[in-house]
Chain A
């Protein structure tokens, strides 16, 4: 009995010391939402560049049709997915979102690679600027994804470790979907948008 009491007191004090983590959940939940919005924003930023890019490419040269079709298709499937904040609570939709976005990344890098064969296109000011804007969007996406990964990691650790997992159970906080590691490698290594050469003036 005495032992039980001591154990009980120890457990209770441990719980009260580390807290139930309710406030941490609120803070991190908001953090995850904000980080996700940032990710969505930056994907949107990239998507907004596409019409302009396609127009510039078509206008300046008799451009390879298949590459353009690929871009337009990728854009269509990206916009077919409603990019809502709720996406992070639905692993299947999240995976689908990732997939179409990485298709877009691939299509864009192929377009830029093919564009190298059209010197009169790459020499134009519009194309040069679009390339820089695109690089900026890709970089912002990488940064936003990195921050999202970190925030979700923090949240998920909280949701799964004792004793805060009890709080998570009581209030129904599910671990959130994250970008997978394999995927992250693919992103970090590149479909490289290379801007090595000094921009044409």
Chain B
């Protein structure tokens, strides 16, 4: 037993020692340039192009330029990036990542599971050979990335994927799934308002039904029933209905829709939970 544990420990240390590698940068934008190659305007243009595609199709694309992936091969590094960033929608897995290791003169297109049909490895390789590396060889990194991304978008457009509104639903699911307390407070707040308008019992019932319906849409029947019952009990028992009715109602609704719309337009909300299996192609210039 002790021997086995020792062996496991040794195994873990070996794994740990092998991890003296380039860290994966945090995902803050669709285009991450750690090499200072792209100007702010070029970066913004790429961002805008990808954002428009994401809004239209719901799929996600990320671009990463970095100096080097050494000591790892670009394939090993890029799968770590893919696992950390989770580009693409959860379950649909329609993410694409373009990684350029500038000093290594290597690049890779990482293709999510959901897009492997439209963009098999040989096609990804063609995008690299025909669109990207010819420009990279001329030193035109912006042009190469732009053309490559455009071509990838065109290819991905052909894939039969679920429509993009699923994305907001996914966002909501993710948000309430990870912050149940926020959902609860929100429900209590709405409950106060409803009680003030419709009375104690009808207001509580209405709130429970509403919350149940949303939970049903997001999580399924089981959680919906539990949520509805809990919300009913708490709303009914919560007698502190001193808050001003109409004003509270409008701020509550306003903050909710405001929050969701601002997160989708201005700041980047990050990867949607897509997974990758090592599909795609690498190249050099």
Interface residues of A (CB under 8 A from B): 38, 42, 129, 132-133, 135-136, 139-144, 146, 153, 156-157, 160, 181, 188, 195-196, 198-199, 201
Q: Are A198 and B283 closer than 8 Å at their CB atoms?
A: yes
Give the docked Cα–Cα distance between A144 and B283 (Å): 22
Decide: B14 and A181 in contact? CB cutoff 8 A: yes
Interface flags, B1-36, vs A, CB<8A=1, else 0: 100110010011010000000000000000000000
- The tally of CB-CB contacts under 8 A between chains A and B is 60
| 28 chain-A/chain-B pairs, Cβ below 8 angstroms | A42-B278, A129-B122, A132-B121, A133-B121, A133-B122, A135-B121, A135-B281, A135-B282, A136-B121, A136-B280, A139-B75, A139-B280, A140-B278, A140-B279, A141-B278, A142-B75, A146-B79, A153-B8, A156-B8, A157-B8, A160-B4, A181-B11, A188-B76, A195-B282, A195-B283, A196-B284, A199-B125, A199-B129
- Does B277 interact with chain A (Cβ within 8 Å)? yes
Closest to A125 in B: B122
B contact residues vs A (CB 8 Å cutoff): 1, 4-5, 8, 11-12, 14, 75-76, 79, 120-122, 125, 129, 133, 276-285
Main secondary structure of the interface of A (DSSP, over half): helix
Per the bound structure, the CA–CA distance linking A136 and B282 in Å amounts to: 9
Query: Would A144 and B122 count as touching, CB distance under 8 A?
Result: no
For A129, list chain B residues within 8 Å (CB): 122
Contacting pair A140 B277 (CB below 8 A): yes
With a cutoff of 8 Å between Cβ atoms, the chain B residues found around residue A181 in the complex are: 11, 14
Q: Does the CB pair B277–A144 fall under 8 Å?
A: yes
Please indicate the chain A residues that have their CB under 8 angstroms from the CB of B129 in the complex.
198-199, 201
- Distance between Cα atoms of A142 and B75 in the complex (Å): 10
Find out whether the CB atom of B4 lies under 8 angstroms from the CB atom of A132. no
Most buried by A among B1, B4, B11, B121: B121
A136 proximity list for chain B (CB < 8 A)? 120-121, 278-281
Chain A neighbourhood of B121, CB < 8 A? 132-133, 135-136
A160 touches B278 (CB 8 A): no
Closest CB pairs A-B (n = 5) = A143-B278, A136-B121, A140-B278, A139-B278, A132-B125
Q: How far is the CA of A132 from the CA of B12 in the complex (A)?
A: 33
* Partner of B11 from A132, A133, A153 at Cβ < 8 Å: A153
